[in-house]
Amino acid sequence: MRTLEDLDAVMSKPSAALVQFMRELEGDIMLLGVGGKMGPSLARLAMNAIREAGVVKKVIGVSRFSEAGLKDELQAYGVETIACDLLDDAALQALPDVPNVIYMAGTKFGTTGKEHFTWVMNAYLPGRVAEKYKNSRIVVFSTGNVYPFTPVTYGGAHEGMSPAPIGEYGQSCLGRERMFEHYSHKNGTKVAIYRLNYAIDLRYGVLLELAKSIKEGRAINLAMGHFNCIWQGDANEIAIRSLAAAQSPANFLNVTGPETVSVRYAAEQLGKRLGIEPTFVGQESETALLSNAAKCMQEFGYPSVSLGQMLDWIAEWTLNGGSTINKPTHFQEREGKF
């Protein structure tokens, strides 16, 4: 893949399972926070699955649409769009009711110094949305940051482990989960909590950050020596199909790839593909932010794109100067300050 058109074609191609799911799913789908990193590609994937399924169903994207051109791009793809500041309660209440909601709104970066905004977005707003859409099925985007670090030999935190987030970002995300969990109990709303880490797009993500460091001759810090990742196309498909996994009380799903990936290994493999020897500083810690996605894979199957394929694509994209999005993951952060 060398162009954005190539990337879009791969990212938005639905599997046979997703097409069949669209045939069985009743009602339209609303994506709240469609303007984020994953929202546009998720919307296009949903539209393609609907078309291949031969059914009549709307995908409605809601966002402030602060990025120039995004609203027009989505509309050209067939996505209905609504410009809305979700923190404006009157505007939130005026949104149409739909039976299927994927909630992607939230904030991560800039937490330090703007903790108040982080909490209002990640913990207050979810309660308002949960009450507004109490009669819908809701997939709630969350993060593996709600878990504590676990030993790298443990296999990652599983859904039965008690959350223990490090730092205010992770704490506010746990607040988001608890709001939806509360209203799931109160109103019987069917909810799936989708704990993701880390989605890989060729324009951003852990692997791209490693590849850029190698290409630019910067040493790679090994303190956070291991991570999980999943191709964003697979993560998008799981998000849509998780509508069927929504339950009351809320159902929790870790969404990531099957490997505990060594930073050293990934960097060395990228270095071979780039023809550059990576350099390292520090030493791997005995713990890392890791998730066990066995439950998710039992439900939806293993990801279609392997780690090796992601390494190939990222290296080729980097060598050819592919476009990037300046939204770093900060996966090396061990103090929870984003």
* pLDDT interval class at 245 (50, 70, 90): very high
Q: What is the pLDDT of residue 326?
A: 81
Least confident of 49-58, 81-90, 105-114, 293-302: 105-114
Q: What percent of the chain has pLDDT over 70?
A: 99
Region 278-292: mean pLDDT is 97
Residue 315 · residue 211 · CB < 8 Å: yes
Q: Which residues have a Cβ under 8 Å from the Cβ of 238 and sit 6 or more positions away?
A: 194, 253, 255, 296, 300
Residue 43 · residue 113 · CB < 8 Å: no
Q: What is the pLDDT of residue 106?
A: 93
Sheet holding 137-143, edge to edge: 80-83, 59-63, 29-32, 100-103, 137-143, 190-196, 251-255
Distances (CA, A) of 123 to 29, 41, 255: 23, 25, 21
- On the question of pLDDT at 289 being above 90, the answer is yes
Q: What is the pLDDT of residue 1?
A: 80
Q: What is the pLDDT of residue 194?
A: 98
d(Cα 160, Cα 164) in Å, to the nearest integer? 12
Give the three-class secondary structure for 280: strand
Residue 62 · residue 82 · CB < 8 Å: yes
- On the question of pLDDT at 113 being above 90, the answer is no
In tens, the pLDDT along 174-211 reads 999 999 999 999 999 999 999 999 999 999 999 999 99
Domains of the chain: 4-202+229-258+287-302 (3.40.50.720)
Q: Tokens at residue 84, please?
A: 């809305």
Q: What is the pLDDT of residue 208?
A: 97
Q: What is the pLDDT of residue 295?
A: 98
Element (H or E) spanning 101, and its range? Answer: strand 100-103
Closest by alpha carbon to 180, among 247, 239, 241, 279?
A: 247
Region 124-145: mean pLDDT is 98
Q: What is the pLDDT of residue 110?
A: 61
- Amino acid 243 reads L
Element (H or E) spanning 76, and its range? Answer: helix 70-76
In tens, the pLDDT along 121-130 reads 999 999 999 9
* pLDDT interval class at 109 (50, 70, 90): low
In tens, the pLDDT along 35-94 reads 999 999 999 999 999 999 999 999 999 999 988 899 999 999 999 999 999 999 999 999
In tens, the pLDDT along 266-281 reads 999 999 999 999 999 9
User: Within its chain, how far is the Cα of 88 from the centroid?
Assistant: 24
